[in-house]
Amino acid sequence: MNIKETGFNTKLIHGAEIEDPFGSATVPIYQTSTFAFSSAEEGAKCFSGESDGYIYTRIGNPTINALERQIALLENGFGGIAVSSGMAAVNVIYQAFLAHGDHMVSTDAVYGPSRAIMENHYPKYGVESTYLNTTDIKNIERAFRPNTKLLYIETPANPTMDITDLAACAEIAHKHNALLVVDNTFCSPYLQNPLKFGADIVFHSMTKFINGHADVVAGIIVAKEKTIYTKLRAMMVNLGCNMDPHQAFLVMRGVKTLGIRVERATNNAEKIGS
């Protein structure tokens, strides 16, 4: 079965499957810090990058990688990077693509801590930011500077529900050689796929809709292209904010009902609103 050609809910059930040597029907929890090599030569190939074998869970783990593949599949991206929280995802993105002298444009109603850390801590590293109402595309265009590297959007914004035109944002960002980053936590991949509208990076706090059971704190980043993915992956490894295998297992359990949960929540909201 080509999982890419299946429906959304089929991807939720089967998108994380791996070939387990013991034939497990679900992805097992590989709760280990390190991995053994079949030989010294194989170990050398893993460390040099010639082999994609596992070395150390901070770098990669079968349970975590299964979740990363699944969410990347749902978001139609090249690859996913699972991290310990939504804020870990935010900081991996900031640190991967913003350096001294760089500038970021962002939604004013963005998730509070992602704005607070940018305004209170990143200026000491020489990073500048502008927060504005991104529902007006003209505001975004005017805010861009020669040193703007990221356009960081949350849409719908939480809790204001402000909507930003993603396709227009992608056009502006790419015209200025900047990346479009989208916080897609509120919609989840069930309702919105920002990469389809031109975004370069999409991320989620999986603590919310994706896990859905209020028992896990987790985040994930999905990159549209390999070069962006590689830079994000390297930053995550260096920062050490990887997800734990048991976290990944719980999120994979929760995500199976994502479609049903979001559909029911949407139907209830429509009834309340009417």
**27 domain residue, yes or no:** no
**8 domain residue, yes or no:** no
**264 domain residue, yes or no:** yes
Which residue has better confidence, 53 or 179?
A: 179
**67 domain residue, yes or no:** yes
Residue 172's CATH number:
3.40.640.10
Q: Residue 1 pLDDT more than 70? A: no
**99 domain residue, yes or no:** yes
**39 domain residue, yes or no:** no
Query: How many domains, the chain?
Result: 1
Range of the domain at 132: 60-273
**Each residue's pLDDT tens digit, 5-47:** 888 888 888 888 888 888 898 899 999 999 999 999 999 999 8
Q: How confident is the model at residue 4 (pLDDT cuts 50, 70, 90)?
A: confident
Output Rg (C-alpha) for the chain, integer angstroms.
Answer: 19
**Each residue's pLDDT tens digit, 234-261:** 999 999 999 999 999 999 999 999 999 9
**176 domain residue, yes or no:** yes
Residue with tokens 């734990």: 244
**50 domain residue, yes or no:** no
